[in-house]
Amino acid sequence: MTRSIDRAVNLEDIRLLAKRRLPRIAFDFIDGGVNGEECLDRNRQAFRRHTLVPRYLVNIEQRDQSTELFGRRYASPLGISPAGLAGLMWPDADRLLAEAAAEANIPFMMSAAACISIEEAARIAPSTTWFQVYGTRNPDIVDDQVRRAADCGVQVLVLTVDVPIVPRRERNVRNGFRRPMKFTPARVIEGLAHPAWLMGFLKNGVPPLANWFAYAPPGADKNAVADVFGANTPAPGQEWPALERIRRLWKGHLIVKGILHPSDARRAVEAGADGLMVSNHGGRQLDCAPSPLEMIGTIRAASGEDVTLLMDSGVRRGSDVLIARCLGAQACFFARPTLFGAAAAGKAGIARVIEIVRGEIDLVMGQLGCAEMSAMDSSWLTRTILDEAGETTA
């Protein structure tokens, strides 16, 4: 499979490699959205509505896509978004994601529902691991996770706020994706048709929610731990004081993830957020939500220039990263492509995903006549140029 991953030209190639290797229940868990999946399409269409205008006779022999976030310079304006149950796609996927991110010098935003602990991730990738927390019905759990992240040296904490209730993902409903996982005859046949995945699953079972063992009774197995997670998340009663509480506890950089409304952006900054991630959870929560890209400019205006602005949801090309940068985002994150990379070829697949997108960023910068990532701003957007010329983009 490594040879196949080396021949992958773009992220869609890697998605198709993963589709061949995964049973439907696992592939659809990654690939699917919520309800009719209109939000998935909206996320991609938003990028297609923007074009960039090149400048020529510019020296672009040396190009630099490095980007500073929270006082640290990363190799690219790119990062890995949090993804729960990554270990279902490939054994130890969270560990491989952390390692690949560290080697590529990009942020790895570790999920609260990861299959390794925050302590282990921080040992693997101490400089590039960020940690995501969800609000819980028991705020003492959040307090303890914040403490644990601080104790193991994590510099950036991410509070995800866009999961107030459990959504209805129709692919998961059709596939019977639920706990406990039942092996129907059809599912056994499907598994046998994907032997590499099946061997890993039979050896490891449903992956554990490693960060939650501390909150289960002593000696609890991973199913009992999953019950604790399910009983405490999501937290539909969570309100703004939860963010204020975390801000008081956390001394490092704090991001609020899932912001789409400018009023929420202003309030999060007032509560002490250092950064915002504009996100609709990859189209996995609210099918009628706007794409983050179309909200970036409004969020930037509401939050101010000093706030670090990130985005995810629908990023699939290097040009997407540059378009988002021109609209006000300092970096873009994604999860599905790296999960597909893990399913297709383990760590080599994740590395190939990062390599492809980095290469596309570099090529587009060269074609545009832009040698420095710091020079990417709204002046490269077609609509900006036409507006300044008194033309119309309609």
Q: What is d(CA 251, CA 117) in angstroms, rounded to the nearest whole number?
A: 21
Nearest CA-CA partner of 134 in 246, 259, 278, 47 = 246
Instruction: State yes or no: is 281 an active-site residue.
Output: yes
Nearest CA-CA partner of 158 in 210, 107, 209, 208 = 107
What would the two tokens of residue 312 be? 């995810």
Contact 251, 150 (CB under 8 A): yes
Angle made by CA atoms 349, 312, 62, in degrees to the nearest 5: 65
Integer CA distances (angstroms), 220 to 22, 312, 388, in order = 29, 35, 63
Burial track 75-91 (b if 16+ CB lie within 10 A, e otherwise) = bbbbbbbbbbbbbbbbb
Q: What is d(CA 125, CA 96) in angstroms, rounded to the nearest whole number?
A: 10
Nearest CA-CA partner of 316 in 268, 287, 286, 283 = 283
What would the two tokens of residue 76 be? 């690219």
Q: Which helix (H) or strand (E) holds 331?
A: strand 331-334
Task: Give me the amino acid identity at 390.
Answer: G
Marked catalytic residue, from 50, 194, 253, 281:
281
Return the bridge partners of 315, or none.
Answer: none
Q: What is d(CA 94, CA 366) in angstroms, rounded to the nearest whole number?
A: 33
Determine the distance from the C-alpha atom of residue 47 to the mean position of all C-alpha atoms in its chain, rounded to a whole number.
17
Q: Which helix (H) or strand (E) holds 43?
A: helix 38-48
Contact 260, 11 (CB under 8 A): no
Nearest CA-CA partner of 9 in 330, 384, 374, 363 = 363
Q: What is d(CA 100, CA 348) in angstroms, rounded to the nearest whole number?
A: 8
Q: What is d(CA 51, CA 330) in angstroms, rounded to the nearest whole number?
A: 18
Q: What is the SS3 assignment for 332? A: strand
Determine the distance from the C-alpha atom of residue 210 to the mean position of all C-alpha atoms in its chain, rounded to a whole number.
19
Q: Catalytic amino acids?
A: 281
